[in-house]
Structure 1
Amino acid sequence: MKKLIAGVVLGVSLTATAFGAGDPEAGEANAATCAGCHGQGGAEPAMAVYPKIAGLGEKYLHQQLSLIKSGERPVPEMTGLLDDMSEDDLEDLAAYFNEQSITIGKADPDLVEEGRNLYRGGSLASNVPACVACHSPQGKGNEPAAYPLLGGQSAEYVSKQLKAYRDGERDSGPQAGIMMDVASKLSDKEIEALASYISGLH
């Protein structure tokens, strides 16, 4: 029993040091490179299909930056942009953007009820789990587990990513399997409602 407890404590300790290691001030120096697409502080992207990266969670942001740099998560628009950045640079960028505040959009009133029902309760008919289980009722995510903040993300980007998971185009990272399974059960109409609801969630 003592060995089990010690193992759990060690695991929690390792998790605690796995994120929160970056220096936001150092990250700000490299953040100017990102502003052209993601906007100042990562909160107002130049195009709605680009993600808002402000406040998503430091561990998640670092994870995605690493996947993009390695090529495991292909993002054509970011080809070569991270090549000269070190591991410390990626941690610092993640720390900087995590400290910024995301802006909240406005959900389509006609889609709110369906989106809310899916987000909060899932769908028994198609065996879709509720989004709140991983991303919280307010869409704030779960930092230690690297589940990103969703509330306020643009509907266009959420829709694009859910379809990418559903079609097997986005299959990199520890949580990809979960998201691919969830998205595989969603129709285009359900994705539209969910994405709209999430854009105004806070």
Structure 2
Amino acid sequence: MGKLRFWMGLLLAGGVALAHAQGNPAAGKEKAMVCAGCHGEDGNSSAPIFPKIAGQHAAYIAKQLHDFKSQKRGDPTMGALAEPLTGQDIDDLAAYYSQQKITIEKTEANALGETIYRTGNLKTGVPACTGCHGFGGNGNPGAVFPQLNGQYAAYVEKTLRDFKAGERGNDMNGMMRALAARMNEAEIKAVADYISSLQ
């Protein structure tokens, strides 16, 4: 009986902690004003080099902001903006952006990109992107794998090149670095084009 109470107490405490960790979208909207210059008022950036964060999983947004804050993910601009954020600020921003609707441009699907995204490249050991990001590019919020569908091709290209060069290293167990290192430039561009076409 004592052990049961102990575990019940832990579960209840965990539930309280999770409830406290949830962000406030209304507060996040106010705090997002400084983000609008690059990411747009609703998280749909107008410049293809800046990622769309509208509709992105809250857990993923929060992880990236924490990584920028701790400099685990290096970027001078984002590091400076994230440094003063509190945990609650991060949760609020993540909650706000996750509730926005991503704007997806209509583009032609890239055949090579679709093949690599769906089945990978057995010859070079590149796994299918669907394993983590899903067939529709919806990601996996539980595993903190991001939603990709409708993301700008230019941003996806830059991200894959950064992983390939080891300039970005906040991926789980180095998975993205290992994957991108096996991709050539044509494959990177093709996959990025295909991802941008996913609805």
TM superposition score normalised by structure 1: 0.86
Q: Work out whether 1:105 is the aligned partner of 2:102.
A: no
Native 8 Å contact 2:21 2:88 kept in 1: no
Contact 1:41/1:97 (8 A) holds in 2: yes
Amino acid at match of 1:199: S
In structure 2, what is the Cα distance between the partners aligned to 1:176 and 1:100? 30
| Residue equivalent to 2:48 | 48
Give the one of 186, 190, 199 matched to 2:183.
186
CA distance in 1: counterparts of 2:119 and 2:84, whole angstroms: 44
Gaps of 5+ in 2: 1-6
CA contact (8 A) 1:107 1:198 kept: no
Distance in 2, matches of 1:165 and 1:25, equals 34
Q: Distance in 1 between matches of 2:142 and 2:20?
A: 8
- Rounded to whole Å, the distance in 2 between the matches of 1:19 and 1:195 is 37
Give the direction of change, closer, same or farther, for the CA distance of 1:176–1:28 in structure 2 (3 Å limit): farther
Q: Could you say if the C-alpha distance between residues 47 and 56 of structure 1 is closer, same or farther in structure 2, counting changes exceeding 3 Å?
A: same
2:108 & 2:173 partners in 1: Cα distance? 28
- C-alpha distance in structure 1 between counterparts of 2:73 and 2:43, whole Å: 19
Q: Distance in 1 between matches of 2:59 and 2:78?
A: 19
Matched, 1:199 2:196: yes
Larger C-alpha radius of gyration, 1 or 2? 2
2:133 to 132, 135, 142: 135
Match of 2:80 in 1: 80
Q: 1-side partners of 2:62 and 2:19: how far apart?
A: 10
Which secondary structure state, in structure 2, belongs to the residue aligned with residue 138 of structure 1?
A: coil
Q: Deviations over 1:158-195 (max 9, x none)?
A: 0000000000000024x261100110110000000000
Deviation at 1:70, TM superposition (A): 1.5
- CA, structure 1 residues 79+107, in 2 after alignment: closer, same or farther (shift >3 Å)? same
Query: d(CA) in 2 for partners of 1:195 and 1:180?
Result: 16
SS in 2 for 1:81: helix
Q: Structure 2 matches for 1:49-64, cutoff 5 A?
A: 49-64=49-64
Is 1:166 the equivalent of 2:167? no
Rounded Cα–Cα distance in structure 1 between residues aligned with 2:41 and 2:23? 19
TM-score, structure 2 normalization: 0.87
Equivalent position of 1:3 in the other structure: none
Percent identical pairs in the alignment equals 42
How many residues align structurally? Answer: 187
Displacement after TM superposition at 1:79 (Å) = 3.9
| Counterpart Cα distance in 2 of 1:20 and 1:133 | 28
Describe the SS at the equivalent of 2:61.
helix
Cα distance in 2 between the residues matched to 1:76 and 1:46: 21
Partner of residue 124 from structure 1, selected from 122, 125, 145: 122
**Could you list the runs of 5+ residues in structure 1 that have no partner in the other structure?**
1-5
Looking at structure 2, the residues matched to 105 and 40 of structure 1 have their Cα atoms a distance apart, in angstroms, of: 18
Please give the per-residue CA displacement for 1:63-103, whole angstroms capped at 9, x wherever unaligned. Answer: 00001112221112324222322110001101110111111
